[in-house]
A = this chain, B = another copy of it.
């Protein structure tokens, strides 16, 4: 069974402050007598469910088109995060994840914030000590259920730590219908030569060796 954990990209969705949401501009329109409907899309790249590439916080860093697909496809853990504090190293350590864990998605109380019609800066995210735990433990991908992996008051430290170590960041997931546990993650971002890229992300039951 395929579980979609992506948000619908449509005009009016909440974006990070200062970043433009999606607009569709008709190029052809059947309502105007054209043969087909064709629109142009315009939006900030970090709109909806998307990945961050190193270029987002590293001037000469890699762009999204060169992210390693093997990092974005494979077994993953969905972890429930209670409360409203930043995700820290002690919390991650206490999860007792298997040492071969490579991908973690954080299901947080952001579920409630994501239902609001406006941006909520109190969102739960990964603190800098949590980011250091991630890079020290060979994690290749982390994902979260709001607009940013980094607490709102920080100045890029979480992004810098993750991106400098080649960790792929997924932001804007919808995990509301997903139970904590182990899945196969399939995160496929558009092959965009830019600092990030919109992505479709799904979970499937894990592929077990026979």
Chain A contacts with B in 1-45, Cβ cutoff 8 A: 2, 4, 6-10, 18-20, 22, 24, 27-28, 30-31, 35-45
Asked whether any CB of chain B lies closer than 8 Å to the CB of A166, the reply is no
Asked whether any CB of chain B lies closer than 8 Å to the CB of A92, the reply is no
Contact string, A192-210, partner B, CB cutoff 8 A, digits 1/0?
1111101111100001001
Q: Is the CB of A24 within 8 A of B200?
A: no
Q: Is the CB of B19 within 8 A of A27?
A: yes
Contact string, A89-102, partner B, CB cutoff 8 A, digits 1/0?
00000000000000
For chain A, the count of residues having a C-beta within 8 Å of the partner chain is 58
Complex: A210 Cα to B30 Cα, angstroms:
49
Which B residues lie within 8 Å of A188 (CB)?
A: 186, 188, 199-202
Question: Min CB distance, A148 to chain B, in Å?
Answer: 11
Chain A contacts with B in 24-71, Cβ cutoff 8 A: 24, 27-28, 30-31, 35-46, 48-49, 55-57, 59, 65, 69-70
Q: Is the CB of A65 within 8 A of B9?
A: yes
Instruction: Enumerate 26 A-B pairs (CB-CB under 8 Å) in ascending A order.
Output: A2-B70, A6-B190, A6-B191, A9-B190, A9-B192, A10-B192, A10-B193, A18-B28, A19-B40, A20-B40, A30-B57, A37-B195, A38-B46, A38-B195, A39-B194, A41-B41, A41-B45, A41-B194, A49-B191, A69-B202, A188-B188, A188-B200, A190-B190, A190-B198, A191-B200, A207-B207
- B-contacting residues of A (Cβ < 8 Å)? 2, 4, 6-10, 18-20, 22, 24, 27-28, 30-31, 35-46, 48-49, 55-57, 59, 65, 69-70, 73, 155-156, 159, 186, 188-196, 198-202, 207, 210
